[in-house]
Amino acid sequence: MSIPCRNPLGVAFAAALAFSTGAALAGDITLFQHRDFSGTGVTVHHEAQDLSATAFNDTATSMVIREGVWQACTEPNFQGQCVQLQPGAYRNLNASLNHSVASVREIATSTAAAPQTIIIATAQPRLVLFENRNFGGSALEINSSSPALDRFSNYDNAAAAIVYQGTWRLCSEENSRGDCSDFAPGRYENLGPLNGRVRSAELVMAGTPVATNPIPADSEPVTAYDGASFSNQPAAIDHVSPRGYTFTQ
């Protein structure tokens, strides 16, 4: 049964997405107000350039990504500090985005049902950059911040990466300047807007910032909650229409 949305959060969020140029990708990300997936929550299925019209501006502290590789940024229009995250459950965004998520978008697809390559966490920070997408071409492994990657004789450029340990900030200019994005442990078949533009790599957090748990392909999507610790009736955001969101029970 579908009923018109009377939830102020849903109305505000629909208004925010009205100005979005949603990409033709099919992933979803659920943002939660507090750590451990508690407090108000809302699921995004499309690019959201500005979350300031919702309760989530500068308050998202945990999230669940069921499908897709998502970029989350501290400022509207994907500016400020950005992090790219793989599917998983992120209980506490305690690195660069704590209480600061202002815009989100899916930048690559991921297949939840595909075999998952296990990333073995290492004792020391470790990042491997690949010349081409899908981990092709030459590879460069680094274990500490590198303000100028061009100093490595075997480095040409990067279009894919595997982060084994640590959170790494990749930037389009030397000394962590220009366009930057943070990468938590995981496999990144492409680097989105940074493809072919990586000139520096900074280790911003030595440990693993969050524990990520794979989301089963056949699980029900977590959508919207209004209340701490999932205490209130959940509602699934169905779609955006001229009347705003409809909630399906």
Burial of 35 from C-beta contacts in 10 A (0-12 / 13-18 / 19+): middle
**Residue 178 pLDDT exceeds 90:** yes
Burial of 229 from C-beta contacts in 10 A (0-12 / 13-18 / 19+): exposed
Q: Residue 104 and residue 77: Cα distance in Å, rounded?
A: 9
pLDDT band for 208, please (50, 70, 90 cuts). low
- Convert the pLDDT of each residue in 66-85 to its tens digit: 888 888 888 888 888 788 88
All structural domains of the chain, each given as residue ranges with its CATH number in brackets, are 2-114+214-248 (2.60.20.10), 126-205 (2.60.20.10)
Give the bridge partners for 237, in sequence order. Answer: 247
Query: What pTM value is reported for the model?
Result: 0.46
**Residue 211 pLDDT exceeds 70:** no
